[in-house]
Structure 1
Amino acid sequence: MNKFTLFKEDSLLLIIDIQEKLVSAMKDGNQVIKNTNILISAAKEMNLPIFFTEQYPKGLGGTSPEINDHLENAIKFEKNSFSACSDNFIFNLKETGKKKIILTGTETHICVFQTARDLISLGYEVFVVSDGVISRTKENYMNGLDLMKNMGAIITNTETVLFDLLKKSGTPEFKLLSKLIK
């Protein structure tokens, strides 16, 4: 069951391409921003590393301000390939020692899918946050989730990730973070 369990000591949050021009083209973009911000708050409170990517920022703009304003200590990777798994990215990921990757971003069936595929092939455990990823169409979104599940990714959601990392109620972390989902 270890494969299905998140431990804060072994987890990292990876945000893929939640950029101004991409998110504005998505019907449920605000939900993805909201849920990603919940996960950013949790990652900060639990001292999880945060990585984020920007696909061709010159053309697609930077990370959406609603998210970027919360990423002051996160590590940014600019990319032109659809997968985030460049040599530089993998080097930095290995340096963290983390093996469980919590994945959010756009688009589910392109950059999120290709990143998940590459991470799984490298031996990482990938937790795709279903309410934290998005595509322009529902069909592409569902196809991306299905492909990642078939490859061995865990398809989860924001609340499940949050409470799995917390493990129990009554702690100062629980009191602070449980307020984010009300």
Structure 2
Amino acid sequence: MQYPTQKASVTLSQFALVDVQTKLTVAMPVSEMQAVIKNCGILLQAANMLNVAYIVTEQYPKGLGHTVPELSALVQPLQPVEKVSFSCAAEPKFNRQLTRDHSQIVLAGMEAHICILQTALDLVSMGKQVFVVEDAIISRNPANKANAIERMRNAGCVITNTESLVFEWLGVAEGDAFKAISKLIR
């Protein structure tokens, strides 16, 4: 499927932070996990500055813990959507929070080859334009992440990165938001 534009727009986008939970992070490669948390933090801060709607999910928090403190501090007082299905789109509460006038969904979180992949595929089948932030997703095994990215790209998802996405949301190199987001990227 070809879309008329492959640029993320702040007025069309909604961001979903998927399952970046305390007990899951310890199973991930340490340096990659730190980079993913940093990039997810940049995305959340940019979303807050630019008034991009977002949803946070937690996979079975009783067993896997809650969203890591570095990120949960950025989403207060928002309550995460608790789920047991791997696809966020299979959770009715997630679907109720999808903003109808936002045709673009930006995905970040974990794990790339399970919850991110299944969510992306379901959102594409719902007619959403899905952006997957490659440097803000992770799997325990890098080969699984690479496979998931290939599958999502083949399904019509736009594979992007944190810096590209936040500057697409900004659109112009001016104003307080530009100055603040530029500092986050450095």
TM bracket, shorter-chain basis: over 0.9
Aligned residue for 2:34, secondary structure, equals: helix
Matched, 1:102 2:100: no
Partner of 2:95: 90
Tell whether the 8 Å contact from 2:55 to 2:97 is kept in structure 1 after alignment. Answer: no
Query: Which structure 2 residues correspond to residues 1-182 of structure 1 after superposition, within 5 A?
Result: 2-27=4-29, 28-85=32-89, 86-94=91-99, 96-182=100-186
| Structure 2 letter corresponding to 1:25 | A
Identity of aligned residues (%): 41
TM-score (norm 2): 0.93
Tell whether the 8 Å contact from 1:50 to 1:74 is kept in structure 2 after alignment. Answer: no
| Structure 1 letter corresponding to 2:17 | I
Provide the C-alpha distance between the structure 1 equivalents of 2:72 and 2:63, rounded to a whole number of angstroms.
17
Q: Larger deviation: 96-105 or 157-166? A: 96-105
Deviation at 1:135, TM superposition (A): 0.1
Aligned residue for 2:131, secondary structure, equals: strand
Provide the C-alpha distance between the structure 2 equivalents of 1:80 and 1:127, rounded to a whole number of angstroms.
23
Please list every run of 5 or more consecutive structure 2 residues that lacks an aligned counterpart in the other structure: none
Provide the C-alpha distance between the structure 1 equivalents of 2:46 and 2:139, rounded to a whole number of angstroms.
24
Aligned residue for 1:13, secondary structure, equals: strand
Runs of 4 or more, structure 1, over 2 Å off, are none
Closer/same/farther in 2, CA of residues 75 and 3 from structure 1, 3 Å limit: farther
| Structure 1 letter corresponding to 2:167 | F
Deviation at 1:75, TM superposition (A): 4.8
Tell whether the 8 Å contact from 1:99 to 1:125 is kept in structure 2 after alignment. Answer: yes
Deviation at 1:50, TM superposition (A): 1.4
Aligned residue for 2:80, secondary structure, equals: strand
Q: Larger deviation: 36-45 or 161-170? A: 161-170
Closer/same/farther in 2, CA of residues 58 and 69 from structure 1, 3 Å limit: same
Provide the C-alpha distance between the structure 2 equivalents of 1:7 and 1:50, rounded to a whole number of angstroms.
14
Number of residue-to-residue matches in the alignment: 181
